Chains A and B, each alone.
Chain A
Amino acid sequence: MNQVTKFDGTHEDLIHDVAFNYYGNRLATCSSDQKIKIWDYNEGEGIWESNISFKAHSCAVLKTSWAHPEYGQVLASCSFDRSVIVWEESYHDAVKKWTPIATLRDGNGTVQDVEFAPNHLGLRLAIVAADGLVKIYEAMDVTSLAHWTMIDSFPVGEGPSKDEEGNHCLSWSTSKFTSQMMVVGCAKDHVAKIFRQDHNNKWQACEVLGGHGGVVHDVSWAPNMGRSYNLIATACKDGHVRIFKLTDDSQGGALTGGWSRKMFNVTCIADFPDHNAEVWRVEWNVTGTILSSSGDDGKVRLWKATYTGDWRCMSVVSAEEGLSAFQR
């Protein structure tokens, strides 16, 4: 382990999200203190430096997502204040500044998750709010990001969920050669569902990832990387981290662009209660081989498959000890 850059004290309240950009050399943190902070990697010294911090919303900022750098340095954030703001870094007199270029505020409730679509779909943004609607926006003119058009909207379940009933969450499938897919955590229904575009480009609820004993706090669709199956991880309020394996069930159609309501066999291949406290977030690495999960026990756990396909905890990161190797 080399240099550690600590976040401590850089925000005045809880940090809710950390997000790397596409290249992994910039980092955005957002917090309840209504600010977003951008960190840049200083390769020379091997440390992360915080260059800029700006007040983003008038409530807690829950999530941030980077757009593909092809579109510039663009960031989207969502908040309790019911809005999503798209930010762009601009230069004015050699001073870098993040300016809000678009505010999307047509929902009726906390915007609980925001994520840019994979690059091959263009500059698209999916959001899900407490009103139980997933909305997909697209920037029609990528040279001016001020105009976003809602191109799709679909309900994830039965009506809205109050904030205390738990949050929605979503994650895009990054696969380039299939129909558009995403997995959505459905708040009070205590399940996650896979949504897919059918032949008429209409989003349909398809497979259900069940077995959760509480609200699904987060979902993450692993980068496929040409595997014959897909992996989806969920973080659940009941303290479990679960990994679902989606194997092709439609005679080759799933990976080549065919459509049917049932394309995958969903099996839960791992179910870890190790956190023993609410698990808030899960996220895959870029190759979809390592899963990170973070929970209320104050620990980050890293999960990796052994060569026989069993998922194991490979290490535990805790606040007190830094990185400690996992012993089993």
Chain B
Amino acid sequence: MNRDMLKLRKDPTIPPSAAATVNTSTTNAFPVSPRLGNTGGDSRGNRSGRQRTSPKGSGAGNNAPSNSASSNASVASTQHPTTNGGPAVGYNTLGSPGYLTGSNGLGIGASGGGGSSAGSPLVTGNGGHSQQDGTGPSGNQSPLQPSTSPISSPNTFRFDTNGALWALSASPDYASVAVVGRDVLKILNVTEWGAEEAINLKAVGVRNNFAGSTDVKWGPTTGRDAKIATIGTNGPIVIWDIGTHNKIGRTIKEHTRSVNRICFSPQEPNLLLSASSDSTIRLWDLRVRDKPGVIMDAKDIVREVQFNPTSTHDIVAGYESGNIQRWDLRNPLVGEKKFMAHMGFVTSLDYHPSGRFLASGGRDRTIKVWDMEDEKRREIHTIPTIQYTSKVQWRPNRPYQLAASFKDESTVQVFDVRRPYVPLHVLYQHDKDATSILWKDSDVIWTVSKDKTFASALVKGQTVSADLLPGGKAAMNCYGQLAFTVSTKAGPDSFERDLVPKPGRPNAKAVALDGSSEPMVYRTRQTGGVFDCELFNHEAFIYCAQNYSMEAGNIREVCEHNSNVAWQANKYRDSQAWTALKLFFSEMAEPAIVVSQVDAVAPEVTTSAGTKEEEQQDDDDDIDTLEAGATKPVVRSLFAIKVLDAPIKRNWSHDDTIRNMLEFYADQGEVQMCVTILLVLAEEEDLPQFDLSQHWFSSYIDLLSRFKLWSIATAVSQACKDDRIHTMNQDSTTIHTSCSSCMKPILTRAPSSSGFWACDRCRKVLSSCSVCHKTVRGIFTWCTQCSHGFHLQHAQEWFSQSAECPTGCGHQCFPEMLKIQREQEQMSLRLETPDNETLHDPSHPHAHQHFPPRSVHSHPQQELASNQGHSTLRATDSDAKASSPLSYLPYNVV
């Protein structure tokens, strides 16, 4: 048996390091290579194909039937079944079955006198391979040290194969696995603690002009007939007789184009299907060496072919066009009707273990589940995936679950088809694309990847990815509305309880993958909505914003006005504050009134008796109850007003009180009060400076913008003395114009452009005067009703004689002008200059009502980036367009 190995070592194509690898693996792992087992003639492999025995209790017990022969003390009790009998001696001779001891039972205790600690990892992580070289055959006595990370649980490891991997296939008993890639053709022996290279077929392959492989399948036959089939990267299907010699048994070259997939029949071990780009599916009987294959003409590039595990003759093929077709091998001339499954080619197919349902992965980034007994061929589940699947496989013994690997994706995901959007588990085994997957049993999945590793992962106990997803969120807008979603978790493993019958078509045949109940889908335990919970009194805010006077200089009257405004808005505390301010700055009030700040936590304002005080007190109480309705918790008003008997001189500073007042309001987020008070008191000379005043201004302007009160925002900005605020609406303000007839934006900088005066597209003159038909340069005026514009002078001339529009549109522009003339306003039409100060003159708060917004659309369009705008407004902003502060104002910049 060493002859082959010696050959391998001498093979010049293998670099020295690789030879060393082969050498160690020879001594270490040889005993369990499947072909050795044949000397015993005993092949008790599990032939049930998909119906694998799952380990019961013992994680390593998947070969339990075979351990009867392991009487040898130093040999692990659970081995490859084909190594029973004779080869056991071989173990002792070689003295190196160490890695097998780890598979004893659950890995607790040593096996017999083996002396190897049960947990000794043979291969741990990536470094395992090189360690073998160093440790040599003494594995039994000195278990390999964990290299990078200690193995904490069985069936969780990675094994580096020194080459990117594309496919894998396990021996019928899952003790070995064949992994292939462009430069790799290896058979690994796998236990639950690690993997080890058993045979490297690369050398043999290279001699036979066979470099690498895109797909591999391990035949169901065992013993001397054990075979693996591979698709060579250079074309042919190569059958390897690994039961007797590690050599090529047969090469199938009949396909005229590349072969995409091969598949052994689970029922008839010597039947092999191949799917090819030459538009045929061929069936090969491997017992007869030169028998040509049965040809099924698919008339489409065949991407994938699979046997039904419960049938000898039922196969299904997936095509480049996205179609899926079922064939009956008893009638290879005609397949069943094709049905459209995917947009884009079919990447992977897998029959459900029941043989009734089919999972298909497509280029359209979906996995679909089909009921193959339903003639209508409707998908019963669709899973949208992160990328298109490279391989999909149903999980054994879990009728609703499947795993998939994806193109360009390092994770492998396990789905429950009843919850299509959120994977049950996401397995982070690899650093690069995972290329193929294989369920070892219902809890362990094997994967191969372009990161050159073969990995095993324990799916049971993995984090449920849904647990990592946030289930609730609440958000509030400036109108005091609350949008929220909340979910409740019904506890661990609540998934089953959240299933509801699938809302389907009434006539749809009820199908469930477990064959029992009606089909179910997952529905979240989540609810949510938007409602107004009055978190912010926006009506009062807007009312106050619109009506507060910000005029400086005349403190008494303005304060009185603002006090009334606040009262109207039901802001009683603010109203009192204004009254207090008024009194501060009064010239010796009629009856002297002292306003004192009251500690916010004081339960009541204690005063001596007096009719006026009593009334005031009563008022206070009313206020409290009123306020309590809106905002909780209730707090006493901040200021109390005392009326004293004797007038006193105003000879004390109230700076501190004002400071406290402003800071109190700032802490409450009431920048409206802060800013208005500051503006009203702006002329007061001994007013203290507030470091934070510019924050208040910018916050207030921001709030006003949220309510689209741009005019007021501009007025506030203009009134502020602070340069950073004052210049806010001069920063980067851009006005865009567009042609009034074709709406094309007017670009003034384009070299070929006609500039401001004509539209590039429709060649019409822009902003023409209705009287002289020339472009208006300078102040453009227009009638806001009929939208016709003029030179100012022409308008004056025309409307001094006529009431009608000069265009003959029939509109009576004149009456409005008459009115304006009566008011002795400037000109015949309402004119404004593009100066913000006059535009937003608060003394004309309703000026804009004369100008309905429709004029926006019929005039050269203008948009103004919001007042504190940082940069250009974009034309698609519907909000800003419809309600831009200047859009209805009658001026145009030309």
Q: Tell me, yes or no, whether B463 is within 8 Å of chain A by CB.
A: yes
In the assembled complex, the Cα of A13 lies from the Cα of B695 at a distance in Å of 42
- Pick from A39, A281, A318 the residue with the most CB of B within 10 Å: A281
In the assembled complex, the Cα of A302 lies from the Cα of B535 at a distance in Å of 10
B530 touches A88 (CB 8 A): no
A23 touches B706 (CB 8 A): yes
Q: Tell me, yes or no, whether B340 is within 8 Å of chain A by CB.
A: no
Within 8 Å CB of A294, what residues of B?
472-474, 484-486
Give, as a whole number of angstroms, the nearest-CB distance from A256 to chain B: 7
Within 8 Å CB of B694, what residues of A?
177
Task: Name the residue of chain B whose CB is nearest to the CB of A289.
Answer: B669
A225 touches B666 (CB 8 A): yes
Instruction: Sort chain B's interface into a size bin.
Output: 35 or more
Take A226-B699, A298-B487 as given contacts and tell me if A71 and B706 are in contact as well, using a CB distance cutoff of 8 Å: no
In the assembled complex, the Cα of A3 lies from the Cα of B479 at a distance in Å of 14
B870 touches A122 (CB 8 A): yes
The one of A119, A297, A314 in contact with B870, judged by C-beta atoms closer than 8 angstroms, is: A119
The one of B478, B531, B674 in contact with A322, judged by C-beta atoms closer than 8 angstroms, is: B531
Task: Name the residue of chain A whose CB is nearest to the CB of B600.
Answer: A307
Q: Tell me, yes or no, whether A94 is within 8 Å of chain B by CB.
A: no
- Pick from B471, B536, B674, B696 the residue with the most CB of A within 10 Å: B471
B526 touches A70 (CB 8 A): no
B386 touches A80 (CB 8 A): yes
Q: Tell me, yes or no, whether B7 is within 8 Å of chain A by CB.
A: no
Could you mark each residue 259-301 of chain A with 1 if its beta carbon is under 8 Å from any beta carbon of chain B, else 0? Answer: 0000000000000000001001101111111101111111110
Take A16-B470, A32-B469, A296-B471 as given contacts and tell me if A286 and B478 are in contact as well, using a CB distance cutoff of 8 Å: yes
Q: Tell me, yes or no, whether B880 is within 8 Å of chain A by CB.
A: yes
A317 touches B635 (CB 8 A): no
Q: Tell me, yes or no, whether B260 is within 8 Å of chain A by CB.
A: no
Could you mark each residue 20-50 of chain A with 1 if its beta carbon is under 8 Å from any beta carbon of chain B, else 0? Answer: 1011110101011110000100000010100
The one of B471, B530, B876 in contact with A5, judged by C-beta atoms closer than 8 angstroms, is: B530
Q: Tell me, yes or no, whether B667 is within 8 Å of chain A by CB.
A: yes
A164 touches B874 (CB 8 A): no
In the assembled complex, the Cα of A255 lies from the Cα of B694 at a distance in Å of 10
Q: Tell me, yes or no, whether A72 is within 8 Å of chain B by CB.
A: yes
- Pick from A34, A81, A255, A296 the residue with the most CB of B within 10 Å: A296
Within 8 Å CB of A218, what residues of B?
470
In the assembled complex, the Cα of A5 lies from the Cα of B484 at a distance in Å of 11
Within 8 Å CB of A84, what residues of B?
none
In the assembled complex, the Cα of A143 lies from the Cα of B871 at a distance in Å of 10
B535 touches A17 (CB 8 A): no
Binds A, one of B215-223, B325-333, B421-429, B580-588: B421-429
The one of B528, B536, B633, B880 in contact with A8, judged by C-beta atoms closer than 8 angstroms, is: B528
In the assembled complex, the Cα of A18 lies from the Cα of B474 at a distance in Å of 7
A317 touches B486 (CB 8 A): yes
In the assembled complex, the Cα of A315 lies from the Cα of B480 at a distance in Å of 14
Task: Name the residue of chain A whose CB is nearest to the CB of B699.
Answer: A225
A308 touches B600 (CB 8 A): yes
Task: Name the residue of chain A whose CB is nearest to the CB of B533.
Answer: A323
Give, as a whole number of angstroms, the nearest-CB distance from A321 to chain B: 11
Within 8 Å CB of B876, what residues of A?
72-73, 88-91
Task: Name the residue of chain A whose CB is nearest to the CB of B878.
Answer: A73
- Pick from B473, B695, B703, B724 the residue with the most CB of A within 10 Å: B473
Q: Tell me, yes or no, whether A146 is within 8 Å of chain B by CB.
A: no
Q: Tell me, yes or no, whether A239 is within 8 Å of chain B by CB.
A: no
A162 touches B428 (CB 8 A): yes
The one of A18, A252, A304 in contact with B483, judged by C-beta atoms closer than 8 angstroms, is: A18
Give, as a whole number of angstroms, the nearest-CB distance from A175 to chain B: 7
Binds B, one of A58-66, A147-155, A204-212: A58-66
A14 touches B526 (CB 8 A): yes
Q: Tell me, yes or no, whether B760 is within 8 Å of chain A by CB.
A: no
A300 touches B482 (CB 8 A): yes
Q: Tell me, yes or no, whether A159 is within 8 Å of chain B by CB.
A: no
The one of A7, A12, A122, A227 in contact with B666, judged by C-beta atoms closer than 8 angstroms, is: A227
Within 8 Å CB of A177, what residues of B?
694-695, 698, 724
Take A70-B869, A73-B876, A122-B870 as given contacts and tell me if A300 and B472 are in contact as well, using a CB distance cutoff of 8 Å: yes
Take A80-B386, A288-B669, A312-B633 as given contacts and tell me if A70 and B877 are in contact as well, using a CB distance cutoff of 8 Å: yes
Show 10 residue pairs from A and B whose CB-CB distance is below 8 angstroms, ordered by the A residue: A4-B529, A15-B485, A18-B483, A24-B477, A62-B469, A73-B879, A285-B478, A292-B482, A308-B635, A317-B484
B interface, CB within 8 angstroms of A: 365, 384-387, 419, 421-422, 426, 428, 463, 465-466, 468-489, 522, 524-533, 535-536, 600-601, 632-633, 635, 663, 666-669, 671, 674, 691-696, 698-699, 703, 705-708, 724, 865-866, 868-874, 876-880
New A-B pairs, 10, CB < 8 Å, besides A23-B707, A280-B470, A290-B535 = A4-B530, A22-B705, A29-B485, A34-B384, A62-B470, A163-B428, A223-B699, A225-B695, A256-B691, A300-B484
| Interface pairs A-B: 5 shortest CB-CB | A24-B477, A294-B472, A226-B695, A287-B669, A298-B488
